[in-house]
Structure 1
Amino acid sequence: MGDSSQGRLVWNHSTHIEGLIPVLERLITHQGIYTVTPGVISRARSNCQKLKLRVSVPIRGGYKAIARQGKSVQEVFIITDLSQENLKSAIEACFR
């Protein structure tokens, strides 16, 4: 997988948290990120005003992240060979 081509964004759901897709499209341009797959949307009790994306737990080949906005929560699966710290930095860069 070590080529420098852009990663891919998998569209397997028709619904996404508002504003999430542009962030994920910026994320897949980072080297070392291969596949980004938005997952299940659920509801949260607490209200998160601004869109947030944080790394949650390691999965095979990458990490699960959690996107939150308003009362919506969406899992995002990121296949990458970046370390957790480098992935956090890449995500932060997508919000600047």
Structure 2
Amino acid sequence: MTRGDKGRLVWNHSTHLDGLIPILEKLINYPGITTVTPGVISRAKGHCPQLKLRVSVPIRGGYKAIARQGKTVQEVFIVTDLSQKELESTIKEVLNNG
């Protein structure tokens, strides 16, 4: 992937957490991130007042992240060649500049 290439955001669900898509659209602009796919939405017991996105577990070719807001949780699959630390700092940068 060359520096000018942009990653791809896959739209396979009709519902997403409020505010998640603009964050994912910023994330795909970072070098090393190839594909971002929002996944299943579910309910959580705890309450998270503002949107958070954290890396959860490695998957083949990247990582699964968890987005949380309020009592709602959504999986996000990120295909990347970044290390977990690099991805976490990229996510932090996107959330802080969001």
Assess same fold via TM > 0.5: yes
Give the alignment's Cα RMSD to 1 decimal: 0.6
Structure 1 residues 48-94: Cα deviation after superposition (integer angstroms, max 9, x where no partner): 00000000000000000000000000000000000000000110111
Deviation at 1:3, TM superposition (A): 2.2
Q: Provide TM-score, normalisation by structure 1.
A: 0.97
Correspondences of 1:71-86 after superposition (within 5 Å)? 71-86=71-86
Percent sequence identity is 69
TM superposition score normalised by structure 2: 0.95
Is 1:88 the counterpart of 2:88? The answer is: yes
- 1:95 deviates by 1.1
**Number of aligned positions between the proteins:** 95
SS of equivalent residue, structure 2 residue 14: coil
Distance in 2, matches of 1:80 and 1:3, equals: 14
Query: Could you give the per-residue CA deviations for residues 14-65 of structure 1, whole angstroms, max 9, x where no partner exists?
Result: 0000000000000000000000000000000110000000000000000000
Give me the whole-angstrom Cα distance separating, in 2, the residues matched to 1:84 and 1:30. Answer: 14
* Paired position in structure 2 for 1:8: 8
Equivalent residue number for residue 44 of structure 2 = 44
For structure 1, the 5+ residue unaligned runs are none
Local SS of the residue matching 1:95: helix
Alignment correspondent of 1:68 = 68
